[in-house]
A and B are shown apart, each in its own frame.
Chain A
Amino acid sequence: MSITLEGPQTQVSATTRLRIIDCDIHPALRSASDLDPFLAARWRQHLAEYGKGTRGIFAARGNYPRFMPATARRDAWPESGPPGSDVELIRAQHLDPHDVEFGILEPLLEANSPRNQDLQAALCTAFNDWQVTTVTDVEPRLRASILVPQDDAAAAVAEIERRADDPRFAQIQLSSRTPEPLGRRRYWPIFAAAERCGLPIGLHVGGPSASAPSASGWPSF
Chain B
Amino acid sequence: MNTYAGAIDCDIHPTVPEIPALLPFMDPYWRDAFVSRGIDGLEMASYPPGAPIACRADWRPAKGRPAADHATVVAQSLDAFGTRFAILNPLSGGQVATSETMGAAVCRAVNDWIAAEFLDRDPRFRASILVPPQSPELAAEEIERRAPDRRFVQVMIPVAGEMMLGRRYFQPLLAACERHNLPLGLHAGSLFRHPTTSNGWSSHYIQDYVSHTNSFEDQLLSLIHQGAFELFPRLRVVLIESGVSWLPAFMWRAIKTWRGVRPEVPWVKRSPADYVRDHVRLTVQPFDAPDAAAVARIVEMIGSENMLLFSTDYPHWQCEDRRALPDGISESLARKIMVDNPLATYPRLKETIA
A residues sitting closer than 8 Å to B (CB atoms) are 48-51, 53-61, 63-70, 115-117, 179, 210-212, 217-221
Contacts A56-B192, A220-B98 given: A50-B48 contact, CB under 8 Å? yes
Residues on the A chain within 8 Å of B102, using CB: 65
How many residue pairs link A and B with beta carbons under 8 A? The number is 89
Do the beta carbons of B203 and A63 come within 8 Å of each other?
Answer: no
The complex places the Cα of A53 from the Cα of B205 at a distance, in Å, of 7
Closest 6 CB pairs of A and B: A69-B38, A57-B192, A59-B43, A65-B39, A61-B41, A49-B50
Contact with A along B188-212 (1 / 0, CB 8 A): 0001111100000111110000000
Do the beta carbons of B195 and A67 come within 8 Å of each other?
Answer: no
18 further interface pairs, Cβ-Cβ under 8 Å (given A57-B191, A211-B194): A53-B204, A55-B195, A58-B43, A59-B41, A59-B44, A59-B47, A60-B41, A60-B43, A60-B48, A61-B42, A66-B37, A115-B204, A116-B203, A117-B203, A210-B195, A217-B162, A218-B193, A220-B134
Residues on the A chain within 8 Å of B134, using CB: 220
For A67, give its contact among B37, B50, B98, B202 (CB under 8 Å): B37
Residues on the B chain within 8 Å of A51, using CB: 48, 50
Residues on the B chain within 8 Å of A60, using CB: 41, 43, 48
The complex places the Cα of A115 from the Cα of B51 at a distance, in Å, of 16
Residues on the B chain within 8 Å of A211, using CB: 194-195
Interface of A is mostly: loop
Residues on the B chain within 8 Å of A212, using CB: 193
Do the beta carbons of A59 and B162 come within 8 Å of each other?
Answer: no
Residues on the A chain within 8 Å of B97, using CB: 57, 65
Min CB gap A50→B, angstroms: 5
Residues on the B chain within 8 Å of A117, using CB: 203
For B49, give its contact among A59, A61, A68, A219 (CB under 8 Å): A59
The complex places the Cα of A179 from the Cα of B45 at a distance, in Å, of 18
B residues sitting closer than 8 Å to A (CB atoms) are 36-45, 47-52, 93, 96-102, 134, 162, 191-195, 201-205
Contacts A50-B50, A65-B102, A219-B98 given: A57-B45 contact, CB under 8 Å? yes
The complex places the Cα of A67 from the Cα of B97 at a distance, in Å, of 15
**Could you list some 30 contacts between A and B, CB below 8 A?**
A48-B50, A49-B48, A53-B48, A54-B45, A56-B45, A57-B97, A57-B192, A58-B43, A58-B44, A58-B93, A59-B45, A59-B47, A59-B48, A59-B49, A60-B41, A61-B41, A61-B42, A65-B39, A67-B37, A68-B38, A115-B203, A115-B204, A116-B204, A179-B201, A211-B194, A212-B193, A217-B162, A218-B98, A220-B98, A220-B99
Residues on the A chain within 8 Å of B45, using CB: 54, 56-59
Residues on the B chain within 8 Å of A64, using CB: 98
* Chain B residue with Cβ nearest A67: B37
Do the beta carbons of B202 and A68 come within 8 Å of each other?
Answer: no
For B100, give its contact among A56, A57, A61, A220 (CB under 8 Å): A220
* Chain B residue with Cβ nearest A62: B41
Do the beta carbons of A57 and B49 come within 8 Å of each other?
Answer: no
Min CB gap B203→A, angstroms: 5
Residues on the B chain within 8 Å of A217, using CB: 162, 193
Min CB gap A25→B, angstroms: 21
Do the beta carbons of A221 and B50 come within 8 Å of each other?
Answer: no
Residues on the A chain within 8 Å of B205, using CB: 50, 53
Do the beta carbons of B52 and A49 come within 8 Å of each other?
Answer: yes
The complex places the Cα of A163 from the Cα of B27 at a distance, in Å, of 51
The complex places the Cα of A115 from the Cα of B203 at a distance, in Å, of 5
Residues on the A chain within 8 Å of B195, using CB: 55, 210-211
Min CB gap A67→B, angstroms: 6
* Chain B residue with Cβ nearest A52: B48
The complex places the Cα of A47 from the Cα of B162 at a distance, in Å, of 28
* Chain A residue with Cβ nearest B35: A69
Min CB gap A195→B, angstroms: 29
The complex places the Cα of A61 from the Cα of B195 at a distance, in Å, of 18
* Chain B residue with Cβ nearest A68: B37
The complex places the Cα of A49 from the Cα of B47 at a distance, in Å, of 10
Min CB gap A63→B, angstroms: 6
